[in-house]
Structures are given as C-alpha cells and as structure tokens.
Chains A and B, each alone.
Chain A
Amino acid sequence: MKHYKKMVYPYVAWISVMVVAPMLLIMFYAFTKDGNAVLDFVFTLENFKKFFSDTIFISVLGRSLKIAVITTVICLAVGYPAGYFISKCADGVKMKWILLITFPTWINMMVRTYAWRGILQDDGIINKFFGLFGLGPVPMLNTGFAVVLGMVYNFLPFMIIQIYTSLAKLDTSLLEAAADLGANKTKSFLRITLPLSIPGVLSGITLVFLPAVSSFYIPEMLGGGRYYMIGNLIETQFLTTENWNFGSAVSLIMVIIIIVSMYFTGKADKTEIMEQRGN
C-alpha cells in the first residue's frame, strides 16, 4: 500500500497555494501599509489602530456582535424544543421532520432570503393580515428585525439538527433509571437530558453564531444597507474602496473574535451538518 502514498503530494501542493498562501497574504496585508509591492513592505499596526480608534468601526463591530448574539439566542430558544420534539417522535415520523427541516437548506440561500423582501413589505402578506384587524402597516423591511429574521431563517435548521443529533444519541435507559429511582420529569430533564445535550447545543451555537457574525448579504438585502455589519465593512474595503490592508486587518479581527468565541463553545464544524444532511 506504500504505492499510494505519493497520491497526496499534488494535494499538498494545491492546499499550500490555495489555502495556506491566501491566509498568509491576508496577514501580510493586515500588517503592512497600502500599496501591494511585496518587496518594499513596512511593518505597521496602523490598520488595527485605525479600527480601534474610530467609534464608527467599533459600533459596526458592536452591532455585528449584538445581531449575532440575538440570532443565536432565538435559534437556541426555538431550536431546543424543536430538536427535543423530533427526538421524541417515532422513527418514521422523526425522518419526516428531519427531511422537512433540511430540505429548504438545500435551496439557494440567496433565493430564499430574497423572497422575504416581498413578504415583509408594507403592503406584504403580513401587513395585509395585520390590516384585517385595522393594525399597521408595521414597517418591517429594512429594519433590524428583518435582518435578525433573515438570519434566524437561514441558520435555525443548523441548530435544530445539532440539538436533535445529540438528543437522539441519548441512552433512554438513563431516563428509565432516573424514573425508577423516583425522579420526576422535570428533574430527569434537568439532571440527565439537558447536560447530555450540551455538546449539541454548543456546536449549534457555533454553527449559528459564526455565519451570523460574518454575514454581509443578509444585512444588505433585508436591512436595506442600514444595518452595516463587519462583513459589509470587509466587503466594502475589498470591492469598493480597495483598501486591502485595512480590509485584511478587519477580517483578522473578526477571525480572532470567532476563535475566542469558539474557545468557549468548543470545537464544532460544518461537517456535522453535512453528515446530518446525509452526506
């Protein structure tokens, strides 16, 4: 089987160029001044200073964290009971619910997010419904509400699936044992089910928080450009003002925030959702 060893070499070369080099380039740009002449670079912390000394950038960061945290909390509050419910269903029904929840995630996110624009408009279907009771119209599109809704819409399935997976693994004999020993439902939930589902909760939090904090098209599309988040800031630096040095510094700051928050929630990755989607 030694014969096959060499088969990894082309991939080693490939990831060196396509994965490692881009990361090094981002770091290089973040710590240098403008101009992309690689040869005469000067090390500087100015890009980071620029970010932390301007209240506008700090408020962009604050808004991103706020929206990502709100989204994560809502996803957890709705996703936990949903995952719990599915795990308690009979096997056949379980499968139907999982299918029902994962199917939309296969359809292009952009297309699904776009459709909310029509629904949330002042004369959209929700406000028409309010109108029946003489209420509204309540402005919804281009508000923070729409941004959070769009994120919950896009990322909630990840949370549900993670929590469902951890609850499905739970050994039901533990619950029976607890009941035999006299624990009531609340107690056995708090002492057994909840602690054992924590890994699922944590990876669910990561899978929601990470894309939420770095998203730029949801705030753009549903927030009408008024909800400028850190992803939008990075996008503007690269595609509009072309200040790659500052843009790289901002993305490094974002990555560090994500790494720090992942340190608290433990390791989780998108591969689990792919597994659940059956891949």
Chain B
Amino acid sequence: MKRQNKLSSKILMWVLALFFYAPIIYAIVFSFNEGKSLTNFTGFSFQWYGKMFRDREMKEAVFYTIVIAALATVLSTLFGTVAAIGLSKSNKGLKFAVEQINNLPIMNPDIVTAIGLLVLFATLHFKNGFGTMLLAHVMFCTPYVILSVMPRLRGLDPNLAEAAMDLGATPLYALWKVVIPQIMPGIISGALTAFTMSFDDFVISFFVQGNGVSNISIIVYTMSKRVNPSINALATLVTVIISVFLLLANIVPSKIGKKKNLALPA
C-alpha cells in the first residue's frame, strides 16, 4: 500500500514537471523549425533567429526590456534601501502607514495598479513612453526592495552606528561603512527581485506604453494574433537570458560574500 502511494505521487510529480516544462521545450524546439508551422517540425534551421534579429520591433522590445529592467533595478534598489533605512528609524505611526501603502502595489491586482498609473499620467499630462514606463517600473519594484531590506535592518544593532559616530564618523560615513555592509544580502536579493519583476512585466507596461516604446511581453502579446515563429526564437532568447542571469545571481554573491544562495532556494 505504502509503495503504491509513493509510486502514484512520483508519477504525479513527473507529470507536473512535464506540464511545467512542455511549453518551454516546445517553444525552443519550434524556434529551430524550418517551416512556418507551429505544429509540424519539418527540418532544422536558424531562419527565425535571423528574422528576429532583423525585426526592428522585436530588437527594440528586447533593448527596452533590458534597459528599463537595468535602470529600474538600480533606481528602485537605491530608493528602496534609503527609504527602508529611514523607515526603520521612523516613529510607529509613520512606519505603519508607509508599510501599509508599500504593500498596496504588491497586493493589488496588476490591472488595478496599471489603470491607476494610466489615469495618473494622463492627469499629470505625461506623454506615455519611455519615461512613464520607467516610472511605473520603479513604482512596482521599490516595495519589493523595501520588503527584503527591512528584516535585515530589524536585526541590526543600533549601537554599532552610534559607536562609529562617537568615534568620529560622520552619519553618512557610518551609514556606508557600518549599516550598508550588514544589510547587503537584503539589498542584493531586493535587486534580484526588482530585475525579474521588471523584466517579466506585462500588464502594467501594457497600459503605460506609448511612443513606440514596448517590451518583450507586449511584443509577444500583440504578435501572437498571427502565426509568427520568430516569437519562439524570442522565447528561447528570453529563457537563455533569465537562466544565465539566475546562474550569475547564484554564483556571484556566493563568490563575494560566501553567502548561501540568494536567488534560488537552498
């Protein structure tokens, strides 16, 4: 009986693995298809990769996705870290209010955040484009940075910064030399989260896009109405980029700080 149970759950797990990976493998396989079909593999070719790299819209989408993800990561990590440090020293009332509002973009359905920003930008007479997209990404990435830095600050001994200042360090120097190094793991994991949230975003970007600025998700969504195997090439490219990113994210911090894996569960 027990063995049978074990066997059936093993089967369930492998079926699940197949279910989760089938579309990814399918996209990769068909990105090398010679024909245009998404269902019949007729022969091996790189032509869809060629098409992808010649397609201006796709190239621009990849470019904007990476540039916006990089900028949003840097800005939200800086902003979120500074805010979290300030927040940890704020009085209870302000702290509670900011934490609650900070949770709103995380709890709200993406579409509600998206229309909120759309309406906001229209009210402020901002023209949708690169700027609005970047503002939106910083807006939804920063709360995750704050959430990953806050627990680190809570575990921090406040006397250490005080001691540094007693010994003559300026507040800024104490911050840089004493506080920041101790909360670094939180900052790094916040940055990783911010990057992947920005890189993968569809709903919010879709509502604040404009002026020819889009991203990979938007391009896939709008192009999927017609049969276009270049999308599979793009999907393969995205899979490779994210895999490399995850690999680096796991190797680099462990090389620097000898910390345990940050990006993937250890």
Closest to B41 in A: A125
Q: Is B42 an interface residue (CB 8 A)?
A: no
Determine if A95 and B111 form an interchain contact, defined as CB atoms under 8 angstroms apart. no
Determine if B86 and A111 form an interchain contact, defined as CB atoms under 8 angstroms apart. no
Q: With the chains together, A8 CA to B89 CA distance in Å?
A: 9
Q: With the chains together, A153 CA to B21 CA distance in Å?
A: 10
0 or 1 for each of B215-245: is its CB under 8 Å from A? (1 = yes)? 0110011001000000110110011001000
Known: A114-B235, A269-B103. A108 touches B13 (CB 8 A): no
- Chain A residue total in the interface (Cβ 8 A): 91
Q: With the chains together, A254 CA to B224 CA distance in Å?
A: 27
Q: Is B87 an interface residue (CB 8 A)?
A: yes
Query: Contacting A4 at CB < 8 Å: which of B105, B110, B171, B231?
Result: B171
Determine if B24 and A104 form an interchain contact, defined as CB atoms under 8 angstroms apart. yes
Q: With the chains together, A28 CA to B165 CA distance in Å?
A: 49
Determine if A108 and B90 form an interchain contact, defined as CB atoms under 8 angstroms apart. no
Closest to A271 in B: B147
Known: A110-B221, A217-B203, A277-B265. A124 touches B139 (CB 8 A): no
Query: Contacting B89 at CB < 8 Å: which of A4, A82, A221, A279?
Result: A4
Which A residues touch B27, using CB under 8 A? 111-112, 114-115, 118
Q: With the chains together, A6 CA to B172 CA distance in Å?
A: 13
Query: Contacting A258 at CB < 8 Å: which of B9, B30, B109, B110?
Result: B109
Determine if B265 and A95 form an interchain contact, defined as CB atoms under 8 angstroms apart. yes
Q: Is A195 an interface residue (CB 8 A)?
A: no
Binds B, one of A13-21, A42-50, A51-59, A196-204: A13-21
Q: Is A132 an interface residue (CB 8 A)?
A: no
Determine if A15 and B101 form an interchain contact, defined as CB atoms under 8 angstroms apart. yes
Q: Is A32 an interface residue (CB 8 A)?
A: no
Residues facing A in B235-257 (CB within 8 A) are 235, 238-239, 242, 246
Which A residues touch B263, using CB under 8 A? 277-279
Determine if A95 and B266 form an interchain contact, defined as CB atoms under 8 angstroms apart. yes
Q: Is B196 an interface residue (CB 8 A)?
A: yes
Determine if B104 and A23 form an interchain contact, defined as CB atoms under 8 angstroms apart. yes
Determine if A123 and B119 form an interchain contact, defined as CB atoms under 8 angstroms apart. no
0 or 1 for each of A234-252: is its CB under 8 Å from B? (1 = yes)? 1100110000100110010
Which B residues touch A84, using CB under 8 A? 9
Q: Is B58 an interface residue (CB 8 A)?
A: no
Known: A8-B83, A98-B265, A107-B238. A118 touches B26 (CB 8 A): yes
Closest to B97 in A: A12
Which A residues touch B158, using CB under 8 A? 1
Determine if B13 and A82 form an interchain contact, defined as CB atoms under 8 angstroms apart. yes
Determine if A125 and B220 form an interchain contact, defined as CB atoms under 8 angstroms apart. no
0 or 1 for each of A94-128: is its CB under 8 Å from B? (1 = yes)? 01011111111011111111111111010111001
Determine if B220 and A107 form an interchain contact, defined as CB atoms under 8 angstroms apart. no
Determine if B21 and A22 form an interchain contact, defined as CB atoms under 8 angstroms apart. no
Known: A8-B90, A214-B110, A271-B106. A82 touches B30 (CB 8 A): no
Determine if B39 and A124 form an interchain contact, defined as CB atoms under 8 angstroms apart. yes
Q: With the chains together, A131 CA to B107 CA distance in Å?
A: 45
Instruction: Give the shortest distance, in Å, between A210 (CB) and chain B (any CB).
Output: 6
Determine if A9 and B86 form an interchain contact, defined as CB atoms under 8 angstroms apart. yes
15 pairs, CB–CB < 8 Å, chain A vs chain B: A1-B89, A2-B89, A4-B88, A5-B86, A8-B87, A11-B86, A19-B105, A36-B123, A78-B12, A95-B265, A109-B217, A110-B220, A111-B217, A125-B39, A221-B224
